[in-house]
């Protein structure tokens, strides 16, 4: 019973991580190029109530990842290989979340408050460019986290 629960928890974790990776790719390739060239006037793309709030997507995805990652760690704690690779994935994921909380989310929330008809200032453009630049470094951490859970799934021993 515990082995099957661990397997399903890990499968759901893989799906949650894949959803996060897909969402990050979509944001990077579709949304960011639409708002970053002319901040303020193009912020309507990321503002709540206009094109669908990003929070409705990201909150459930990160909640699922957190729940399934902790549950899977708990259920597979005695399998050293699976535990270690999941702990590596957790470390990578934690770096992403802390970094996002300290920089990306705060900036995005600030960007969402600018009225779309306000003039685009050089300072605002620089902040948008900085946000876009540092976003490139989150991708590899997302991939590391995802590969860790996939490797854990591969290594998981089921009866």
Residues 16-73 pLDDT 10s: 999 999 988 877 777 666 665 666 555 555 555 554 566 678 789 999 999 999 999 9
Give the tens place of pLDDT for each residue, 104-144.
667 766 666 666 666 566 666 676 676 677 677 788 889 99
Question: What is the C-alpha to C-alpha distance for residues 86 and 40, in angstroms, rounded to an integer?
Answer: 40
Do residues 145 and 92 touch, judged by C-beta distance below 8 A?
yes
Q: pTM higher than 0.75, yes or no?
A: yes
Look up the domain containing 135 and give its range: 2-155
| Of the candidates 69, 63, 68, 75, the residue with the CA atom closest to the CA atom of residue 87 | 69
Report the number of distinct structural domains present in the chain. Answer: 1
Q: Which residue has the tokens 């960007």?
A: 111
Structure tokens at 35: 């708002």
Identify the pLDDT of residue 81.
94
């Amino acid at each position: 019973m515990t082995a099957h629960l661990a397997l399903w928890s890990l499968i759901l974790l893989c799906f949650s991580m894949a959803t996060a990776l897909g969402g990050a790719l979509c944001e990077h390739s579709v949304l960011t190029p639409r708002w970053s060239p002319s901040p303020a006037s193009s912020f309507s793309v990321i503002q709540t109530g206009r094109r669908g709030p990003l929070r409705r997507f990201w909150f459930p995805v990160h909640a699922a990842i957190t729940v399934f990652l902790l549950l899977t760690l708990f259920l597979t704690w005695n399998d050293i290989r699976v535990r270690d690779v999941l702990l590596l994935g957790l470390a990578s994921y934690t770096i992403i979340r802390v970094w996002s909380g300290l920089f990306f989310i705060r900036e995005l929330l600030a960007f969402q408050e600018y009225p779309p008809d306000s003039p685009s200032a050089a300072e605002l453009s620089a902040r948008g460019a900085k946000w876009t630049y540092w976003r490139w470094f989150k991708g590899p951490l997302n991939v590391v986290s995802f590969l860790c859970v996939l490797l854990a799934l591969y290594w998981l021993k089921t009866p």
